[in-house]
Homo-oligomer: A and B are copies of this chain.
Amino acid sequence: MSQAPRANAVVGQSGGPTGVINASLVGVVEEACKHAEFENLYGAVHAVEGIVNEEFVDLARLSRATLASLASSPSAALGSSRDKPDRAYCENIFKVFQKRNVRYFFYIGGNDSANTAHIINEMAAEVGYDLRTFHVPKTIDNDLLVTDHCPGYGTAALFVANALMGDDLDNRSLPGIKIDVIMGRDAGFLTAAAALGRQRADDGPHLIYVPERPVTTEKFVSDVEAVYRRLGRCVVAVSEGIKDGDGVIWAKRLAENPEVDAHGNVQLSGTGTLADFLSGQIREKLGVKRVRADTFGYLQRSFAGLQSHTDAAEARACGRWAVTYALEHSSGSVAMKRVGAGRDYAVDYFRTDLSQVAEKTKSLPDEFINDRGNDVTEAFMAYALPLTGGLAKTAHLSGNGRV
Measured CB to CB, the residues of A under 8 A from B are 13, 16-17, 19, 22, 40, 42-43, 45-46, 55-59, 62, 66, 69-70, 72-82, 158, 162-163, 165-167, 169-170, 172-174, 178, 197, 259-265, 267, 269-273, 275-277, 279-280, 283-284, 291-299, 301-306, 391-398, 400-403
B294 touches A298 (CB 8 A): yes
Contacting A398 at CB < 8 Å: which of B45, B162, B295, B305? B45
When chains A and B are docked, how far (Å) is the Cα of A170 from the Cα of B292?
Answer: 27
The 7 closest A-B pairs by CB, nearest first: A272-B272, A270-B292, A294-B297, A75-B169, A166-B302, A165-B304, A79-B398
The distance in angstroms between the C-alpha atoms of A118 and B112, with both chains bound, is 63
- Which chain B residues border A395 with CB–CB below 8 Å? 22, 66, 69-70, 73, 77
In the complex the two chains form, is A403's CB within 8 Å of B303's CB? no
Q: A328 to chain B: closest CB distance in Å? A: 27
**Which residue of B58, B272, B398 is within 8 Å of A273 (Cβ)?**
B272
A89 to chain B minimum Cβ distance, whole angstroms, is 18
Please give 17 more A-B residue pairs, beta carbons under 8 A apart, in addition to A19-B166, A75-B170, A77-B169: A16-B174, A57-B401, A66-B395, A69-B393, A70-B395, A70-B397, A77-B395, A77-B398, A79-B172, A163-B303, A166-B298, A167-B298, A262-B262, A270-B279, A272-B273, A272-B275, A294-B296
Q: Report the nearest B residue to A47, measured CB to CB.
A: B173
Please determine whether B294 and A392 come into contact, CB atoms closer than 8 angstroms.
Answer: no
- Distance (whole angstroms) from the CB of A398 to the closest CB of chain B: 4
Cα distance A303–B305 in the bound complex, in angstroms: 13
